[in-house]
Amino acid sequence: MFFERLKSFGSEMQIRWNAVRERDEVQRGLKVIQYTLLALIVVYLIFKLSRVGWLEVLGALPESPWFYFFFVLRFLAVPVSEIALYEIIWSLPLIRHFFVFIRKRVYNFAVMGYSGEAFLTLWARRRLRLSDKKILVGVKDNNLLSAFASNAATVILVVALALTGGLEAGLKAFPGAGWLFTLAFLSAGGLSVLVLIFRDKLMALPKGVMPKLIGVHSGRQALIILLHAAMYASALPGAPVMAWMTFIAMQLVLSRIPFLPNQDIVYLGAALSLSAIVGAPEAAVAGMLLAEAGLSQAFNVAMFFATAHLARTEFKPSAA
């Protein structure tokens, strides 16, 4: 009875929120907030990089080819794993639709969190011979498990840094970082526990599917962390590994903020404040972070336009 009331309340609140969100003035307000936040971050970045010196930063871009190799692998880890995940969920071969999952990643990282899920849902309804319920339930349940894996990774990494004394630098990175880490830790831990306790109520996956999905999500999360650390270590091999774990923890914390515009740019702004813990010249750290952010933006733009004509073709309704 409690869960039925909770579900009814949730549905009612969702309907009300959708009605409010669709109003023109609300849409304009949300866009103003998003663009204002992004503009403030860009101004902050320009200020930080100007203090270091633009020529010094550009001259300190990573020279190691391994930095760029690990970056590409990290970029591809998400779409490749998502193909495996949705093949399990929908029981369909999806490898020929690889570009769709590339595009989904671009939407989530370069536009706004969860916009990729909206894109995938619309695409699947038009191209896959599946019921709307199976598509929506699959996307929803996979997203819940993805959030569970990311939340669990955030909690584990923050706890590990706290136990080893590496968290202090992250808490002092910028004003409010302590509150941000605390909120992310509590919400990540709380949501992980809720998913575990109420998984049967929250998800409708067939028996035996959930462990497979959790395995893929957990493996992907571990791989991405390792590739991220390897990428940084290849650029600045003399820096302590714990420093890179602090950087990665910052990114995980920021990724827990829903509807954050352009995560790569936001992370660059936060990570610049951590350069002191690396033990390398500030210009070298800034050059590495700038190269990472620049590559992310370039890849996102390139992949978006590279898949544009394919997206138009794939969005044609399939024959009955």
- pTM comes to 0.75
pLDDT of residue 215: 93
Higher pLDDT, 277 or 9: 277
Q: CB–CB of 158/185 below 8 Å?
A: yes
Give the three-state DSSP class for 207. coil
Torsion angle defined by CA atoms of residues 223, 228, 232 and 235, in that order, rounded to the nearest 10 degrees: 80
| Residue 261 phi, psi dihedral angles, 5° rounding | -75, 130
Whole-angstrom distance, CA of residue 158 vs CA of residue 185: 7
Beta bridge partners of 261: 112
pLDDT of residue 70: 96
Name which of 291, 292, 276 is nearest 239 in CA terms: 276
3-state SS track over 62-114: CCCHHHHHHHHHHHHHHHHHHHHHHHHHHCCCCHHHHHHHHHHHHHHHHHECC
Tens-digit pLDDT profile for residues 113-172: 678 888 899 889 888 888 988 898 899 899 888 888 888 888 888 888 888 877 777 776
Tens-digit pLDDT profile for residues 76-91: 999 999 999 999 999 9
Whole-angstrom distance, CA of residue 170 vs CA of residue 209: 37
pLDDT of residue 48: 56
Q: If you ran DSSP here, which 8-state letter would residue 174 be given?
A: S
pLDDT, mean over the chain: 77
Tens-digit pLDDT profile for residues 35-66: 676 566 566 556 655 655 555 556 657 889 99
Of 8-12, 203-207, 237-241, 301-305, least confident by mean pLDDT is 8-12
Tens-digit pLDDT profile for residues 254-266: 777 766 666 667 7
